[in-house]
């Protein structure tokens, strides 16, 4: 959420930013919120004048009563009562305007960073760099669920009977490999100096609207019926929410946290849910990283965070590339975002496995996360990035380590988490 003062002083820049995000339907919101802001400031001024008048009159009452001028004092009391009534009505209007301003401001997108490429959708994202040499073997690589089934590692049919499409049972060595990846990712981030955390898996609505736009909320979040609780779509939601309404001390910054959680997503929209695969599903597990820091440090952390993802995937011998997300592919709260994509030798292309985002002070404004400064408090910057998100990550791991005989080589860094196993052999 932007600062209303910034919008007031830079309306043309805010409108241009909306155009760059190809959200022209929101252009009218800028003029609407500025008109409401003008009226609200007039109401505040009127309220101050009424309070000053009331205070002035109230001081006269005591003197008149002491001088025995009871009738005059009663007349002034009546004036004070009229002012109180007018002030109460004024305050109701102030609150109505403030609520409406906040509602509109939460729909106006964050200012994108000047380096963000302009484009309408993810087809205009820009490749930055490749890490590792993508290999296409001279033998066929099966679809990832076929590989898992050959290892007796997945049961989609039972999951459909129990929960429907978008769910799965992971079994045996595949389930163990899944846990090994998560545990390795946890230890990898702890070794980078991040504090490990397991957060709440449900959050209240005021946290949901603090961490994402209304559009994202509708497309992603599952609501708990009858309660003010939502299942998290990623642990970033509750991790950033941890700092809600807090005034942070400069000496404690930055907060660098890595968190584990299950994630639940509706996955509404064009992509839909896969019936056979586990790339886009309703439920999965994830290791996340978040940073809460000084504004001037956020882009340094942004570069560190995506580089950690690259380093982790390369430690598993998986080739990856980085993509700069274009303006139209950025969610409303994001100022800059970069995807890390892993190589799929079966498809002979890259696919998304991590997404690193700098939200500057957008979430902090919504959630009231401030830093105590010498000349007043100011808003922190927040960032998030996927460390690893199996089972999607398992697709890259299985495909890049698939052998002609159907076996799977286990990367060295994962072998200690797999009881020393170096290979998975097909069972059927």
pLDDT in tens, 252-278: 999 999 999 999 999 765 565 666 788
Rounded to whole angstroms, how far apart are CA atoms 96 and 86? Answer: 16
Give the pLDDT score at 414. 98
Write down the pTM of the prediction: 0.91
Check residue 268 and give its pLDDT: 63
The C-alpha atoms of residue 337 and residue 327 are separated, in whole angstroms, by 9
Look at residues 335, 362, 327, 336 and name the one whose alpha carbon lies nearest to residue 20: 327
**Structural domains of the chain in order of their starting residue, each with its CATH number:** 4-105 (1.10.287.40), 122-424 (3.30.930.10)
* Torsions phi, psi for 352 (to 5 deg): -70, 135
User: Exposed (0-12), middle (13-18) or buried (19+): which is 115, by Cβ within 10 Å?
Assistant: exposed
pLDDT, position 273: 63
What pLDDT does residue 67 have?
77
Task: Say what angle helices 11-20 and 27-66 make with each other, to 10 degrees.
Answer: 140
Most distant CA atoms of the chain, gap in Å: 107
CB 113 within 8 A of CB 362: no
Q: What is the 8-class DSSP label of residue 318?
A: -
DSSP category for residue 402? B
Q: Check residue 80 and give its pLDDT.
A: 86
- pLDDT, position 61: 76
For the chain, which residues score pLDDT lower than 50? none
Burial class (CB in 10 A: 0-12, 13-18, 19+), 240: buried
Q: What is the pLDDT of residues 22-44, one digit of tens each?
A: 999 999 999 999 999 999 999 99
Strands (E), 27-182: 126-131, 154-155, 169-170
């Amino acid at each position: 959420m932007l600062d209303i003062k910034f919008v007031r002083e830079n309306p043309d820049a805010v409108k241009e930013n909306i155009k760059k995000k190809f959200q022209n339907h929101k252009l009218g919101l800028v003029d609407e919120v500025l008109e409401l802001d003008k009226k609200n400031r007039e109401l505040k001024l009127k309220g101050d004048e009424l309070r000053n008048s009331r205070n002035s009159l109230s001081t006269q009452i005591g003197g008149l009563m002491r001088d025995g001028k009871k009738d005059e004092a009663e007349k002034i009391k009546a004036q004070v009562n009229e002012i109180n009534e007018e002030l109460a009505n004024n305050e109701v209007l102030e609150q109505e305007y403030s609520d409406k301003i906040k509602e509109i401001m939460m729909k106006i997108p964050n200012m994108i960073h000047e380096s963000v490429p302009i484009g309408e959708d993810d087809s205009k994202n820009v490749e930055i760099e490749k890490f590792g040499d993508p290999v296409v073997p001279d033998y066929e690589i099966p679809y990832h669920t076929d590989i898992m089934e050959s290892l007796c590692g997945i049961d989609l049919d039972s999951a459909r009977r129990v929960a429907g499409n978008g769910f799965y049972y992971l079994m045996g060595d595949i389930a163990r490999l899944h846990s090994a990846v998560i545990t390795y990712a946890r230890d990898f981030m702890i070794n980078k100096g991040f504090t490990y955390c397991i957060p709440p898996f449900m959050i209240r609505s005021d946290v949901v609207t603090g961490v994402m736009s209304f559009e994202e909320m509708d497309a992603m979040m599952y609501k708990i019926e009858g309660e003010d609780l939502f299942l998290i779509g990623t642990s970033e939601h509750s991790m950033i929410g941890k700092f809600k309404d807090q005034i942070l001390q400069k000496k404690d910054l930055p907060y660098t946290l890595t968190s584990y959680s299950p994630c639940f997503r509706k996955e509404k929209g064009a992509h839909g849910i896969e019936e056979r695969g586990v790339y886009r599903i309703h439920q999965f597990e994830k290791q996340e990283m978040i940073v809460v820091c000084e504004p001037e440090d956020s882009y340094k952390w942004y570069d560190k965070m995506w580089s950690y993802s690259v380093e982790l995937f390369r430690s598993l011998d998986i080739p990856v590339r980085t993509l700069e997300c274009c303006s139209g592919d950025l969610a409303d709260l994001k100022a800059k975002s970069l995807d890390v994509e892993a190589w799929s030798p079966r498809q002979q292309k890259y696919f998304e496995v991590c997404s690193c985002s700098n939200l500057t002070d957008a979430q902090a404004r919504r959630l009231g996360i401030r830093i105590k400064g010498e000349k007043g408090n100011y808003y922190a910057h927040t960032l998030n990035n996927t460390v690893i998100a199996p089972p999607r990550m398992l697709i890259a791991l299985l495909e890049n380590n698939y052998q002609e005989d159907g076996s799977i080589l286990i990367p060295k860094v994962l072998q200690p988490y797999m009881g020393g196993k170096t290979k998975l052999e097909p069972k059927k």
